[in-house]
Structures are given as structure tokens and as C-alpha cells.
Amino acid sequence: MTGRELIFAAVNGVSANRLPFMPLNSAYARRCIGVDLEEYISDYRVLVKGQLAFAEKFHSDYVSVVSKPSIEAEDYRELYPLLPEESLNETGEFALFNRKEGIYTAMEGDYYQGRLMTERLKAITEFRRTVGGSLLVEGWVEGAALGASITWGTSRLLMDFYDDPAFVKQLLEYVAGNQIEFLRRQIEAGAESIGVGEPVSSLLGPDLFTEFLVPLHMRYVSAIHDAGALARLHICGNIMPLFPVLEDIPYDIIDLDSPSQIGAARSVLGPDRVLLGNIDPVSMVRDGTPASISAALETCFEEAGGHRYIVGAGCEIPYDTPEENILAMSEFAGSHKPYFAGLFVAGEM
């Protein structure tokens, strides 16, 4: 079975000859070819080369364009003269805007001609041409809360959930609308799955998440599914309080960070959701041993119920991880089968 088929098998709940392997790896892909972040995001050929090098060396089952979370913001700055120069706001954080007036005007228009977003679309097209059918091609967008935090600053955004909720809702709507259009264009370019990064959500409780973000994530997933792709959600941090809320948002793959418990996710989200992860990327992936990594993944696999499970770390593979530790993760995937009965139809979605 190809890597692409293995991932679809996990999503469809049918038998496969091994577990899929889908680690977040943009930093390590850069290490594989010896380039820095700016070169990686600025030239689609470099990104493609790095991802293919990682996939070949460590036998991962997909390639992804996930990289720097602010590429859309950087393209805004280049395309729209209304935007100020990059600066720190009063909280010491980066923010694209330091005043509320003018945000929406500047965010209107067809900004997908931006340099970095165009490179992302080109990378997807090249992936589909070179490995389409063998490895899953994954696009990536930012969740509404992360996009809003980059636009307005995380601390100010969190305070405005209470101080100016009308502004926050409008800002989230604008960000979500732009990201949904961007993900559609990635699927048109050849992406078969879209990852949605939403780390700021782990800072919100279930009440705020339900009121402000559930409707937007439902729109994300509907747009992804309507365009014929899989939807993957990644939220950094402990999101166990959000599990009951996520139960009703039909992401195909829930990518869990290490503070969250896979067993609890399986208990709340049920048997049909694919869980990915979630060993600690630093204390285990980088600083562990092949034996300890295998043991930790065995625990994850069993807590996931032995089915609809994808091998990965809780977050990004650190740049300075020993190669043998990543190979141990790959070897675990290669030596374990999901507990499924039934037949797999190649290419089934």
C-alpha cells in the first residue's frame, strides 16, 4: 500500500498492512537539505526538495506545505501600502496592525497573488505532479484565532474576547473568510488534505471556543469536504477541555499535542475519529532513545484503541533531533497494524 492509501485507510476505518506516519516536519525538512526558514518558504522548489528528502529518509506517508504561520500576514504587508511597518505592540508582541481602524479595508481583495502564498500553491502543484498517488499531498492554513492573533497580537486579542467581543467576532470572520478561500485554492492546486493550525484555541475555555470559533471551524471543514479533501486539525497545548466541543466538528484527523491524553480523546470523540500523535517532541522525540520512543508510541497506540491511529509527535519534530529517533517512530509505524477487519479500496475517500 502507498502512503496515501494508508492514510485514507485510517480515515475510512478499513484494514491496512501498517500504521501511517505523518509527523510535522518542516524544521527537519530544512535540516535535510541545509537551508534556513526564509529560503524554505520563499522558493517552492526548496520546500519540495526538503519534504521529499525527509519522506525518503524517514519513510513518511505524506508531504506538507506547513511552514511559517505568518506567511499570509507577510504577504499582506507587501501587497497593501496601508499596513504599517513591522513593529511590536505595547505588550511586546508582534502584530500586523496596531490600531483597529483600517484592518478590514486592508484585508479585502484578492491577496492570493502574494509572494509566499503563491509559492505555497506552486509547491502543492509540484507535489501532485511528482508524488501524487504515492504520498498524500497536504495543504495548510491557519485557524481563525491564530490568524487574528497574528493580526492584532495574542494578548490584545485574548483581552478583547471580553473587552470588545464585537470586534473579535468581526476580525475572526474576516480571517476565516480569507483562509477558507486560500484553502480552496490549495485544493484546486492539488492538495488532498488541509491542515488547520489553531494553537491559540488552547488558551480559550470551551465556552469562548463554542461561541466564537465553532461556527468558523464548521465552515472550514465544510469547505474542505465540499472540495473533496480531508480535514486535519492541530491545536498546540492541552485541549482536553475542548474535546466535548470538538466532538461535533467533523475534522477527519485530530492532531494532538503531548499535554492532551489520547485515551481521553478516544473516550470523548468516539471510535470513528482518527487520532494523530502525540509523544512529547522535546523530552521524548529529541531527548529520548529509540527504545523509549517505541514504548511511548505503544502506549499512544493502545490508548487510541489500536485503530484509526496515525503515528506522529505532539508537535513539530525539533531541528536537532537525532536521526535514529525519527527512524524509531517510522519503524514503529511499519511494524504495527490497525485492528481492522475489511478490505481497502485503493484511492477510496
Tens digit of each residue's pLDDT, the chain (349 residues): 999 999 999 999 988 999 999 999 999 999 999 999 999 999 999 999 999 999 999 999 999 999 998 888 778 767 655 445 444 455 556 677 777 776 766 556 566 778 999 999 999 999 999 998 999 999 999 999 999 998 888 999 999 999 999 999 999 998 999 899 999 999 999 999 999 999 999 999 999 999 999 999 999 999 999 999 999 999 999 999 999 999 999 999 999 999 999 999 999 999 999 999 999 999 999 999 999 999 999 999 999 999 999 999 999 999 999 999 999 999 999 999 998 543 333 334 3
Where is 8: in which H helix or E strand? helix 3-12
Look up residue 305 and give its three cell numbers. 484503541
Q: Which pLDDT value is given to residue 347?
A: 38
pTM: 0.92
pLDDT at 93: 63
Instruction: Enter the C-alpha cell of residue 189.
Output: 492546486
CB 137 within 8 A of CB 193: yes
Cα separation, 141 vs 149, in Å, equals 14
Amino acid letter for position 84? P
Q: Are 146 and 200 in contact (CB under 8 A)?
A: yes
Name the 3-class secondary structure at 268. helix
Residue 248 in grid coordinates: 461535533
Q: What is the pLDDT of residue 81?
A: 53
Residue pair 280/258 in contact (Cβ under 8 Å)? The answer is yes
Residues facing 197 on adjacent strands: 142, 234
Contact 191, 138 (CB under 8 A): yes
Gap between the Cα atoms of 140 and 62, Å rounded: 13
Question: What is the CA angle 120-122-123, rounded to 5?
Answer: 65
Burial 232-261 (b: 16+ CB within 10 A, else e): bbbbbbebeebbebbeebebbbbbbbbebb
C-alpha cell at 55: 519522506
> Can you give the pLDDT at residue 78?
72
The torsion angles phi and psi of 251, rounded to 5 degrees, stand at: -65, 140
170 vs 156: CA distance, rounded Å: 15
How many CA atoms lie within 13 Å of 342's alpha carbon, on the beta-carbon side? 13
Spatial separation of the C-alpha atoms in residues 302 and 148, rounded to whole Å: 37
8 A C-beta contact, residue 162 and residue 204:
no
The per-residue pLDDT for 47 is 98
Which residue type, as a one-letter code, is found at position 256? L
Identify any residues that bridge with 94 across adjacent strands, giving them in sequence order: 88
- By DSSP bridging, strand 309-310 and strand 62-64 are unpaired
Count of C-beta atoms within a 10 Å radius of residue 92: 8
Cβ atoms within 10 A of the Cβ of 69, count? 17
pLDDT, residue 82, reads 47
